[in-house]
């Protein structure tokens, strides 16, 4: 069976030009003793917005790894697919993030709920997670509620899984189930029963992406209590560990964090907790590659700076349209956005510093950063010009991409000095 390594990072690259810089970051971590499997992910939504095909991501991953002479495993993730969108990803992907969020809360048949509840009867009451201080008390009524909320989603996950399995063969892909794009987090107790549901469907789950407490806004830091996150995360890890043994799930099953990028406030907790328990992790960092391209173009000055200024000015005009698909995962305070006339006066360093995610830098503007994050559609409308500029300024742009992934993400997560 294809197996995902202990540490893996989901890398987004919307415009498909930064694979080499991303591989360079992975190889630098390896040279420092941290082996990370790169996984290139791109959702259907991003493909539609830009007009790319899933096969383009495969082509980029193959060529970037080849050029870098990177000979270790890497994967291409069909990110957040469902039964309707999976088809065109099947050929080029070998990692599938099965998104069941839209099925959560829909009820399965009464018979299936009864069967599930009966199958977990022995866990009713006090359940202690062996080898930990963790214990839960669940009444039968709570288990029924959990089944009513999640069993249908687990059944749907299986339907989607089967569709992929039929086309690709059982051993030939990695399966993730994601439930992160919902408004309420799953508790560790819910996680325990969800894993039981997925295990009883025999889904060879290698990663699971729950929704955690706090806000995971795109491209900016975590908004919430990092200590609360840490305790929830640690409990989930213990639950996964127990579920592997108890339900016969794959040994290498691990947590996938759909970070929406840049959750610097919680990275040190994630890093220290996985180290403490000797566990693996998959962290999706998604779309900040595009932001680094914008930062690199700004730094380059001249027509490249003018191009990104125009993108920003246009994004102010089209703010509602651009933000609508991301309403749940961005939080932009309009009054903190710089005006068109301000930005037109900025030099290259000022524009770059406003977007570059360096907490504490007085010029850094998280509101502007989020707006640019969702404004990639505007570059997609001028694709030829955009590609010409990132190619002409490749050295600066790819250095920005590399430094972002390596220093701000990987070093923080894996405590590389
Ligand atoms: Zn997600």
- Measured in Å, residue 9 CA sits from the centre of ligand 1 at 13
Helix (H) or strand (E) holding 76: strand 75-81
What is residue 317's predicted lDDT score, i.e. its pLDDT? 97
Of 320, 359, 364, 318, which Cα lies nearest the Cα of 338?
A: 364
Strands 95-99 and 174-178: parallel
Helix and strand totals (H; E) in the chain: 18, 10
Question: Quick one: average pLDDT of 186-195?
Answer: 96
* Better pLDDT: 288 or 231: 231
- Measured in Å, residue 181 CA sits from the centre of ligand 1 at 6
- Measured in Å, residue 258 CA sits from the centre of ligand 1 at 5
Average pLDDT of the chain is 95
154 alpha-carbon distance from chain centroid? 20
What is residue 287's predicted lDDT score, i.e. its pLDDT? 61
- Measured in Å, residue 177 CA sits from the centre of ligand 1 at 10
What's the Cα-to-Cα distance from 54 to each of 81, 182, 321, 402, rounded to whole Å?
Answer: 12, 25, 25, 23
> Structure pTM?
0.95
Question: Quick one: average pLDDT of 321-331?
Answer: 90
User: Is the dihedral angle over the CA atoms 18, 20, 25, 29 positive or is it negative?
Assistant: positive
Question: Quick one: average pLDDT of 364-373?
Answer: 97
- Measured in Å, residue 209 CA sits from the centre of ligand 1 at 7
- Measured in Å, residue 79 CA sits from the centre of ligand 1 at 8
- Measured in Å, residue 236 CA sits from the centre of ligand 1 at 17
What is residue 286's predicted lDDT score, i.e. its pLDDT? 66
Q: Each residue of 259-268: pLDDT tens digit?
A: 989 999 999 9
- Measured in Å, residue 182 CA sits from the centre of ligand 1 at 9
What is residue 40's predicted lDDT score, i.e. its pLDDT? 97
DSSP string, 242-298: HHHHHHT--TT-EEEEE--S--TTTHHHHHHHHHHHT--EEEEEETHHHHHHHHHHH
Q: Each residue of 47-92: pLDDT tens digit?
A: 998 999 999 999 999 999 999 999 999 999 999 999 999 999 999 9
8 A C-beta contact, residue 138 and residue 127: yes
- Measured in Å, residue 180 CA sits from the centre of ligand 1 at 5
Domains and CATH numbers, the chain: 7-287 (3.20.20.70), 289-407 (no CATH)
Helix (H) or strand (E) holding 48: helix 44-50
- With cut-offs at 50, 70 and 90, classify the pLDDT of residue 181: confident
Helix, strand, coil % in the chain, rounded to nearest 5: 55, 15, 30
- Measured in Å, residue 82 CA sits from the centre of ligand 1 at 13
What is residue 130's predicted lDDT score, i.e. its pLDDT? 85
- Measured in Å, residue 130 CA sits from the centre of ligand 1 at 30
What is residue 279's predicted lDDT score, i.e. its pLDDT? 97
8 A C-beta contact, residue 331 and residue 223: yes
- With cut-offs at 50, 70 and 90, classify the pLDDT of residue 190: very high
Question: Quick one: average pLDDT of 374-393?
Answer: 96
- Measured in Å, residue 311 CA sits from the centre of ligand 1 at 26
Question: Quick one: average pLDDT of 22-27?
Answer: 97
């Amino acid at each position: 069976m294809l197996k995902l390594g202990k540490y893996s990072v989901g890398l987004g690259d919307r415009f498909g030009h930064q694979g080499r810089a991303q591989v360079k970051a992975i190889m630098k971590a390896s040279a420092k003793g941290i082996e990370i499997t790169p996984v290139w992910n791109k959702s259907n939504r991003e493909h539609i917005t830009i007009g790319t095909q899933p096969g383009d991501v495969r082509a980029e991953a193959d060529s970037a790894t080849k050029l870098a002479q990177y000979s270790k495993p890497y994967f291409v993730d069909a990110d957040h697919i469902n039964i309707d969108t999976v088809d065109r990803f099947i050929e080029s992907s070998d990692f599938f993030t099965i998104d069941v969020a839209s099925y959560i809360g829909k009820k399965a048949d009464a018979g299936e709920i009864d069967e599930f509840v009966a199958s977990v009867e022995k866990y009713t009451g006090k359940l202690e997670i062996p080898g930990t201080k963790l214990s839960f008390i669940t009444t039968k009524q709570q288990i029924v509620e959990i089944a009513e909320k999640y069993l249908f989603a687990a059944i749907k996950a299986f339907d989607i899984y089967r569709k992929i399995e039929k086309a690709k063969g059982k051993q030939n892909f990695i399966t993730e189930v994601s439930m992160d794009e919902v408004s309420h987090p799953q508790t560790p107790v819910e996680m325990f029963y969800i894993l039981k549901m997925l295990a009883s469907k025999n889904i060879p789950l290698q990663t699971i992406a729950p929704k955690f407490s706090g806000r995971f806004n795109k491209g900016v830091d975590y908004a919430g209590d990092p200590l609360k996150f840490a305790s929830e995360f640690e409990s989930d890890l213990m639950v996964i560990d127990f579920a592997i043994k108890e339900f016969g799930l794959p040994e290498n099953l691990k947590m996938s964090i759909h970070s929406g990028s840049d959750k610097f406030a919680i990275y040190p907790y994630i890093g220290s907790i996985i180290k403490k328990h000797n566990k693996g992790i998959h962290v999706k960092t998604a779309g900040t590659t595009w932001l680094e391209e914008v930062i690199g173009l700004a730094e380059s000055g001249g027509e490249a700076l003018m191009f990104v200024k125009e993108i920003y000015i246009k994004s102010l005009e089209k703010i509602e349209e651009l933000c609508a698909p991301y309403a749940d995962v961005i939080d932009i305070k309009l009054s903190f956005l710089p005006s068109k006339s301000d930005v037109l006066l900025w030099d290259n360093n000022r524009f770059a510093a406003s977007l570059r995610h360096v907490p504490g830098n007085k010029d850094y503007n998280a509101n502007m950063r989020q707006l640019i994050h969702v404004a990639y559609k505007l570059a997609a409308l001028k694709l030829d010009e955009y590609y010409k500029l990132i190619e002409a300024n490749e050295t600066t742009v790819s250095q920005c991409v590399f430094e972002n992934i390596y220093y701000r993400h990987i070093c923080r997560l894996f405590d590389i000095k």
